[in-house]
Chain A
């Protein structure tokens, strides 16, 4: 049973077709990577799934329910979480409050503080709770984004280029985190770092010029000639 299912999604921006007639299914519990060259329409596609962008045509179903017309905040409440590609933390608030804002939608009272603590510990930011979020390094801001996603305990976690700007050790920790989530949480991961894709994803979808080019296991994708030509290069 697919947790998420999109049919015929298209999006045009002033005549430019960013996404063209994409069908997309994501089974419960799977970690799926979405890859493709810059400008392939990955963020647009994900934006239509989580409600930031209205599709020109097409439908989105989540957990069997048609959510195409639901505004973003209602979709999030159904159990989606989205972390932004360009870090969109609350720079003027402290780190703990950033995560608490994400937690308070599902928790109240003392449960918030312990959930915040657990989420920060999970991404390795435990020591930074009192710091102003805008003062964090770029990599740490990315980790804070991930913590804000985790603390919502979503059924579908959408991560838009989460490892961009992370150090090597942080990327290793991130891979372990995703493997840890796999099975319980369905994860949709937009990612450029191939080692992250190959080591964490169950399946990979490749988007090119707004169209779904290929879909398969990491090994199948690695061996796919079209994908190599479009994205990985022939080397």
Chain B
């Protein structure tokens, strides 16, 4: 009950903010919600299953390019293009999962990183279709979903909120189901989990695919809502971001990814208003947080006050 109130409450608050926020923050929050969905996807694998991937940009980009290329080259409308993005995410994450899950620990990090780099270089290599580094713009006329113009700030905000709500509720549902509990058991002690009769490989593969598809949905939506697809989104930077957001917000908490994304976004936004050396300020704050709140913001809240936080 408390859990439902808290999470639905956050979504209701985000809904209400649409009507009161000034344009600048309104736009920021739309972007944050899409990126937070990406972080939610990352958290399924990292926070709940205990698998540290350094290659999630591959999934984000799979969704983004699955959507953008079908619009650009095949002239698809946004709805089937979004589905194409999801299918791309499904295929890429299943393939990567089958291969990378043969390794564990540090090797898993390296393998995911290498696959993501291979994906990034593939996008650059096929610049004829992908426009490589420069990327390409998705025209306003191509961004009308069921008669709703997604380039309009209000529509964009609601679309981002819809994506974020689905991601958050799917995550919340997942981690309270036996499947999600088994993922946590794998994180805590994989061998013991196998000796209780669980097929840990199948569970981990399921986690990679769910995580990859939420990330792909975020990537596809990002491209569609902000009208641009580019190779930057496949670079290693975009694999590190969700890791940072989740660590800051609280790995293995449902709300952590959103809190972390929001915090980091405004940390950089505010500090860049003070000095050009804004990454220095951001860095110091991040170090301080890691020292004093190692479980992340939501993780600390759970440890100190709300032990029921999922």
Contact = CB atoms under 8 A, between A and B. Distances in A.
A148 B185 contact: no
Nearest to A109: B178
A7 interface: no
B196 A105 contact: yes
Most buried by A among B181, B184, B189: B189
Contacts of B192: 84, 88-90
Residue from A74, A84, A90 whose CB has the most chain B CB atoms within 10 Å: A90
Interface string B163-206: 00000000000000010011011001101111111111000000
A152 B197 contact: yes
Nearest to B197: A76
Nearest to B191: A88
Contacts of A50: 195
A72 B199 CA distance: 9
A72 B197 CA distance: 7
B178 A73 contact: no
A90 B197 contact: no
A125 to B, nearest CB: 18
Given A73-B200, A104-B178, A108-B178, A93 B185 contact: yes
Contacts of B191: 52, 88
Contact of B188 (A76, A84, A92): A92
A92 B193 CA distance: 14
Nearest to A100: B181
Contacts of A82: 195
Nearest to B199: A73
Contact residues on B (Cβ < 8 Å of other chain), bracket: 10 to 19
A96 B196 CA distance: 15
A167 interface: no
B198 A93 contact: no
A72 B189 contact: no
Contacts of A101: 181-182, 185, 193, 196
A91 B198 CA distance: 18
Contacts of A89: 189, 192
A76 B181 contact: no
Nearest to A105: B197
A90 B189 contact: yes
Interface in A40-96: 50, 52, 71-74, 76-77, 82, 84, 88-93
A170 interface: no
A102 interface: yes
B256 to A, nearest CB: 16
A97 interface: yes
Interface centre among A73, A77, A84, A97 (most CB of B within 10 A): A73
